[in-house]
Amino acid sequence: MAKRLFDILCAGLGLLLLLPLLILLALWIKWDSPGPVMFRQERVGRFGRPFYIHKFRSMRVDNAGLQITVGEDPRITRSGRLLRAAKLDELPQLWDVLRGAMSLVGPRPEVPRYVALYTPEQRELVLSLRPGITDTASIEYRDESRLLAQSTEPERTYVEVIMPAKLAYACRYVQERSFWGDVGLILKTLRAIARK
């Protein structure tokens, strides 16, 4: 209950304070490339329920291909490069937190095709909580697309190397989570973004 109240207060305040920035970013995205400002994608949420995550669009509309981003992905727009580098594309997820689909801190939500690869134990543990905007894996794998660019088979590398490591972080978070641990992860995320 305390976690949900914290989420509502922070997400609501964040959306209010960041409203001018959100409007400017939306205008920039619209000016930079044709297409909608927002990107919606189905992810798997708490208890395995599907939901739509919201992000600022950082790719061209005709972005068919892998569901992972690899290196200097040609699908990424000019504005999208900066949005991704500064994690500004994630700001609309504050709305997802406010509406109860996500939390500020928690395991990052995956697309259904990758969740289908979880073991039953991983599904039960990781999907027992609301997915989060940030977690330890998000910090440790900030340069995930660069790592994938070094692979001759990026999707295989994601599924066999990166995803298991991220799942290990997610399982540990579920087992050891605490209010102050969440606060610490939020501060670490802000520091990582500031350093970038």
Q: How many domains does the chain have?
A: 1
**Residue in the structure block whose two tokens are 């959100």:** 22
Asked if 109 and 53 touch (Cβ cutoff 8 Å), the reply is yes
Query: Measured at the alpha carbon of residue 193, what is the angle toward residues 122 and 38, in degrees to the nearest 5?
Result: 75
Tokens of 65: 């291909």
- Domain hosting 26: range is 2-195
3-state secondary structure of 59: strand
Which sign, positive or negative, has the C-alpha torsion 138, 144, 146, 147? positive
Asked if 33 and 79 touch (Cβ cutoff 8 Å), the reply is yes
Phi, psi (degrees; rounded to nearest 5) at 190 = -65, -40
pLDDT in tens, the chain (196 residues): 789 999 999 999 999 999 999 999 999 999 998 999 999 999 999 999 999 999 999 888 775 555 566 556 778 888 988 898 888 999 999 999 999 999 999 999 999 999 999 999 999 999 999 999 999 999 988 878 777 878 788 888 999 999 999 999 999 999 999 999 999 999 999 998 887 6
pTM: 0.88
pLDDT confidence of residue 19 = 96
3-state secondary structure 102-144: CEEECCCCCCHHHHCCCCHHHHHHHCCCCCEEECHHHHHCCCH
Which sign, positive or negative, has the C-alpha torsion 80, 11, 142, 49? negative
CA distance 97 to 4: 9
